[in-house]
Amino acid sequence: MKKSAIQNIFILCILQINLLAVQKPNILLISIDTWRYDRLSFCNKKFVQTPNIDKIAKKGVVFTRAFAHNPLTLPSHANILTGTTSPYHGISDNNRFKLNERFLTLAEYLKQFKYKTAAFVGSFVLSQYFGLNQGFDFYFEPIKKDTFIAEEVVTPVLNWLKSRNEKWFCFVHVWDPHTPYDPPSPYKKKYKDDPYSGEVAYVDSQLGRLFSFLEKNQMFNNTIIIITGDHGESLGEHGEYEHGYFSYNSTIHIPLILFYKKITAKKIKNYVSHVDIFPTICDILHLKTPAHLQGSSLIPLIKNGKKENRIIYFESKAAYHSKGWAPLEGFIFKKKKFIHLPIKELYDLEKDYHETRNIISRVPITKLNRTLKELKKKLSGKYHHHSKIKLSREAIQKLRTFGYLSGFKQQKKSHFTKKDDLKVLLPLQNQLREARNLVKKFKYKQAIAIHKQVIQKRPDSISSYIHLSEIYQKLNQPDKGLEIIGVGLKIKPDNLELKSRLAIMYTEVNKIDSAIVILKQVLQKEDFNAENWNYLGVAYYKKRKYQKAMEAYQKSLELDPHYGLVYNNIGSLYLSLFLKNKNQPLLKKAVENFKRAIELDPKLASAFNGLGAAYKFTGEKVKAINNWKKALHLNPEFINVYFNLGITLIEMGRNQEAHEILLKCKNRYFPRLKLKDQNRLNRLIAKAQQ
């Protein structure tokens, strides 16, 4: 081989080595939901062992004083992924907010530099419905259920990474430490007295799979790994059991770990926050930091211990948005923490990190108020108001399963007194939480008593009026439901939630004309409410004005295409038309719509009941029975299903089975039944015994 050819090969090899040397590292950003700082065994071995995260912590930088700006999932992740706070991007609650496309995300920024991007999230709360998918080539989220366990998130992450041959940014969110705490085996047994810590241990085991994969596939040393919590969990501290109400350190002090092979391992006690993550990544990658970011790179702090003494803003506004209670805002500066509420608080975090001694009397309040006002002005963005959205019915239902939609839209006040302070209202907050849990356990009488106590103390509690009416509806006491809504309307006569609830109750008691009048009034002011269009359809259906009913249902679906209950109601409409006309294509349409309803909402008991009825008319009684049994599994209080099952089983000669089901209905729900239904049930039981 000629000398010149050998030289050329040598030069090409050098060029390839240089290209590899400047190849940007991969980025793995992991968010563990509801993760308290003291549940990292690298820093505290008292509660739980996290050996896999500990390995990363020992090799990386652990920030022992890192803070979230919000104690809620959606706002916190908006902060992390945009490098800005709520006053800038506008998201301050899990409800009725969506990240507007105007705002730059970390994924969008990295795509400009040829990164392949993917997100894997464990909860509907971070669904792309809320806008956090911006910039991600692939966005993996729960579709047919509300949450994934950690294994269901990590496994698709590994599958995605297997096919990567270019630099990548991967955002991984695991939900598990969130309520209800129910870790899988063996953690359920090992942490039987502390299931919250058991869920953290389970998450650690699943993340261990991810870290091992990176090591085995030679990705570990060329990956920036950042692990954090979106917020903490109170676990009873300061009287708060979960999160999203106060902003004490139990819910905003979070773990933050940074690993990269070129960064020396250490612990850092300086105060840092979520918005520092975006600019830190830019610094490591030697990319220009977008000018609007509100955090600062942590690299100077890591290298030489220097970081400007900046103010960390925080807020908690869930109770403000859902109940009209006072908004909580504050800041941390020079190891002092100011909480702005009608009853103001100041804590010296150096001496009192658990915030047990309020020292507000030692500092002029006017100075603190002025600092907060100036800080909010500095942080505020021009388009923050564009992040408000109107939730679909499906989104509302899913968020309620997490306990986030515990209240309803309120007329916002500009002035708050001590009676609006979250500390004063904490007993009511905990009562509402208890009532919600009692309803889940079908303990309706206790829940009713609690809501009545709340109303007595806080007559403007819209949620209690509505939840009470829903409980009375479950108890087949619609008159009491109407009565309590009437009381609420005397207090808040213009409240649209109460008015629409009144109309819904009117449809239940067949005061159809009144229901239609009210629903039309409400829809004139809020024509974007899919639920109200659905109930207008129900009202017209009950008047047998099927064409108008269908028009209302279609309007509802235009607003919310994934509203399973509407498809269920359309199925009922077609079933009624079939019974009237005996037209087989109508029966087929009924079956199709009931199936579509179940596909969209697998927990919709009424759709299984309707599908069972449709199958009975097609002569497929076994399918009918199977669907009715599913309906009862989902809703054991669905009285009509007991009758449907009993009658059909008797027709099929399965009398003993029919007798067991009908007797179960009598033993559980007989006092709730109307007299004619009690007599009917007794006749069926007697027939089943023959």
Mean of per-residue pLDDT scores for the chain: 91
Residue 1 above 70 pLDDT? no
Ranking 382-396, 534-548, 655-669 by mean pLDDT, the lowest is 382-396
Cα distances (Å, whole numbers) of residue 378 to 278, 311, 372, 374, 637? 19, 11, 10, 6, 54
User: How confident is the model at residue 412, as a pLDDT?
Assistant: 63
User: How confident is the model at residue 426, as a pLDDT?
Assistant: 96
Q: Identify the CATH class of 17-379.
A: alpha beta
Query: What is the percent of the chain where pLDDT is above 90?
Result: 79
Residue 14 above 80 pLDDT? no
Average pLDDT over residues 365-386: 91
Confidence of residue 394 (pLDDT cuts 50, 70, 90): low
Residue 21 above 80 pLDDT? no
Q: Report the candidate in 472, 492, 399, 425 with the shortest Cα–Cα distance to residue 123.
A: 399
Rg for the chain, CA atoms, rounded: 29
57-103 pLDDT per residue, tens: 999 999 999 999 999 999 999 999 999 999 999 999 988 889 999 99
| Number of Cβ within a 10 Å radius of residue 206 | 20
Burial 230-258 (b: 16+ CB within 10 A, else e): bbbbbbebbebebbbbbbbbbbbbbbbbb
pTM: 0.81
Residue 413 above 80 pLDDT? no
Residue 259 above 70 pLDDT? yes
Q: Report the candidate in 263, 197, 280 with the shortest Cα–Cα distance to residue 235.
A: 197
Ranking 105-119, 296-310, 333-347 by mean pLDDT, the lowest is 296-310
Average pLDDT over residues 413-437: 92
Residue 16 above 80 pLDDT? no
500-546 pLDDT per residue, tens: 999 989 988 889 999 999 999 999 988 888 889 999 999 999 999 99
User: How confident is the model at residue 387, as a pLDDT?
Assistant: 76
* Phi (first) and psi of residue 171, to 5 degrees: -105, 125
| Number of Cβ within a 10 Å radius of residue 410 | 19
Residue 12 above 70 pLDDT? no
